[in-house]
Amino acid sequence: MSRIALITGGMGGLGEAICIKMAALGYQVVTTYSPGNKTWKEWLDSMKQQGHNFKAYPCDVADFDSAKACIEQVTKEVGPVDVLVNNAGITRDMTFKKMDKVNWHAVMSTNLDSTFNMTKQVCDGMLDRGWGRIINISSVNGQKGAFGQTNYSAAKAGMHGFTKALALEVARKGVTVNTISPGYIGTKMVMAIPQDVLDSKIIPQIPMGRLGKPEEVAGLVAYLASEEAAFLTGANIAINGGQHMQ
């Protein structure tokens, strides 16, 4: 029986690459799409044409009850989740002067509450079975802060606090919990940055002089999910072209 990997936000730029990589390694891949997503079926069809038999379920990761209903359905129809990749996320960039409650909460609930909402549904099962991998996709901007991102930087930094605390609690039960902090990767999230800001303020700060590729992050997810990574827990792994070193 192949292991089951659930990747939230698998239809986005990073998520799709993670789904494809995990499928190539033999996992049964399950992904989620947000309730407002109108193109999920087309995405599944196009993946099928490329030979990928993914399953997809609606889930608002920001909402506990939606996460619970989603995982109940996945467990019933596919099986228990062995690898959870908390990847879904959003930005609502604005200077703190302009930041309002709505955009603060949207980012905190989608990027940080989601980590609790999803992990809560699968963690007990992993402990009972004595094996599990939880991989949280944070950001370089959670490590170093970023102009216009008080909400996002706070949420992404919070994810790693969650990782470290939970890693301690489950370390003796075969379950690892890790954070990946990607730098700027060429997906639609980064393409939403004004071009002049990208060219003048961001790319020059990346020693490699380029954006990262989704496949480069997917390879790291695959490693953290593997048997070889069994001794690696509570870590925050940077993958950012040298932009930020700790």
Question: Which residues of this protein are in contact with ligand NAP, per CB under 6 A?
Answer: 8-9, 11-15, 32-34, 37, 59-62, 87-90, 110, 137, 139, 182, 184-185, 187-190
From residue 75 to residue 94, what is the string marking binding to ligand CAA with x (rule CB under 6 A)? ----------------x-xx
Residue type at 51 in one-letter notation? G
For residue 172, which amino acid is it? Answer: R
Return the axis-axis angle of helices 114-129 and 64-77, rounded to nearest 10°: 40
Residue with smaller CB distance to ligand NAP, 173 or 244: 244
99 binds ligand CAA (CB under 6 A): no
CA distance 22 to 234: 21
Tell me the closest approach of the beta carbon of residue 33 to ligand NAP, in angstroms: 4
The angle subtended at Cα 223 by Cα 63 and Cα 17, nearest 5°, is 60
- Catalytic, 33? Answer no
CA atoms within 13 A on the CB side of 46: 8
Rg (CA), the chain: 17
Nearer to ligand NAP, 172 or 246 (CB): 246
- The nearest distance, CB 194 to ligand CAA, in angstroms, is 6
| Torsion angle defined by CA atoms of residues 88, 6, 134 and 137, in that order, rounded to the nearest 10 degrees | -20
Contacting residues toward ligand CAA, per CB under 6 A: 91, 93-95, 139-141, 146-149, 152, 183-184, 189-190, 193-194, 197, 201-202
